[in-house]
Amino acid sequence: MAKKLIFVSCGQLTEDEKTVGLLIKTTIDATAGFEAYFAQAVQDFEALGRHVLEAIRRCAGAVVVLHDRGVVIGADGKEWGSRSSVWVNQERAILAYRQFFESQKIPLLAFIEPKVKLEGAMTSLIVNPRPLGTAPEVASAVKAWLSSSEFSAGSDEVFARKWNQLTDVGRRVLAGLLEEGGYNVKETAVRHAVMRQFHMQSNPATEAISKAKLEFINTDLVKLIHNKHSGDELSVHPTWEFHLRRQIADWLSVGR
C-alpha cells in the first residue's frame, strides 16, 4: 500500500527554522505508512508547480509551523502583534481550497511561536495551534498526531482505482464528453464527438455510450442525467474533473 504523504509547511528564513522543518520531516518519514514533503529550495515557477503545488494537491495531511516574522503596527500606531510567514499562510489557504473542492477533511497539525497572532480566515483555518516547543516536544506531538488522526486515502489513489475499472470504450466516451465541455452535455453531442475523435460510425458510437454508462454508474466518475424533454445528458463528477482531464490527455497522447 502506498504511503500517505504529509505536507510540511515551515519557514526557512533561518537555520533554526530549517532545522524544525527537517525534524518534522524526519519524524514523519520514520513513521510506518507515512512520508513527508518538505520543500527546502524552490527556485522558479516551474519547480513551484511541479513540486510544491503538486504535493499540496496529493497530501493526506499537513503540519504547519508559524514562525514569528516581526511586529505589525496598526493604523493607530500601536503594536497589533507579530505576523507569520505569508508563504506558509498561502500554502494553508491553498490546502483549505482543496479541502472545500474535494469535500473531505484533511488533518492539520499546527505549531505557533508565542507572539504570532492570527486574524481573519486564518483563525478558522488554523485551529488550536500548539506552542512551538523543544525538538523532543515537537517530535512527540507529530508522532501522537499521526497515530491519532484519521487520514483518508489520497484522491490520486481513489481515482486510480476508478480509472482502472474503465475499458477503452468508457475512456473514449469520456474523451468525447470532455471535448464537449464535460457538464450537462447531450448524449447526441457526446456521440458526435466520439465519432469525430475516434473515426467511428454512428451505430458503434451509440453502442459505446451504452456500454460506457454502466461503467460510469459503477465508478461514479460521470453523472447520468435523465431528461425526457430534450434528451439525456452526461456530466463529469466535479470531484474528479481535474484527474479526468489530466488522465484523458495522457491516455490520448499515446495514440488511443
Q: Tell the CATH topology of 159-253.
A: Arc Repressor Mutant, subunit A (1.10.10)
Q: Which distant-in-sequence residues (6+ apart) come within 8 Å of 44 by Cβ? A: none
Residue with grid cell 497515530, as numbered in its chain: 147
- Residue 97: exposed, middle, or buried by beta-carbon count in 10 A (0-12, 13-18, 19+)? exposed
Please give the Cα distance from 205 to 225 (Å, whole number).
19
Q: Are 60 and 1 in contact (CB under 8 A)?
A: no
| Top-tier CATH class for 4-152 | alpha beta
pLDDT tens, the chain, 256 aa long: 679 999 999 988 899 999 999 999 999 999 999 999 998 655 556 666 668 888 998 899 999 999 999 988 888 888 888 999 888 989 999 999 988 877 788 999 999 999 998 877 787 778 789 999 999 999 999 999 999 999 987 778 889 999 999 999 999 999 999 999 999 999 999 999 999 999 999 999 999 999 999 999 999 999 999 988 888 999 999 889 989 999 999 999 986 6
Residue 3 CA to its chain's centroid (Å): 16
Q: Are 173 and 190 in contact (CB under 8 A)?
A: yes
DSSP tally for the chain: helices H, then strands E: 11, 10
Closest C-alpha to 158, from 58, 31, 236, 55: 58
Q: Residue 43's pLDDT is what?
A: 58
Q: Residue 156's pLDDT is what?
A: 81
Q: Are 66 and 129 in contact (CB under 8 A)?
A: yes
Q: Residue 48's pLDDT is what?
A: 63
**Domain positions in the chain:** 4-152, 159-253
Same fold flag, 4-152 and 159-253: no
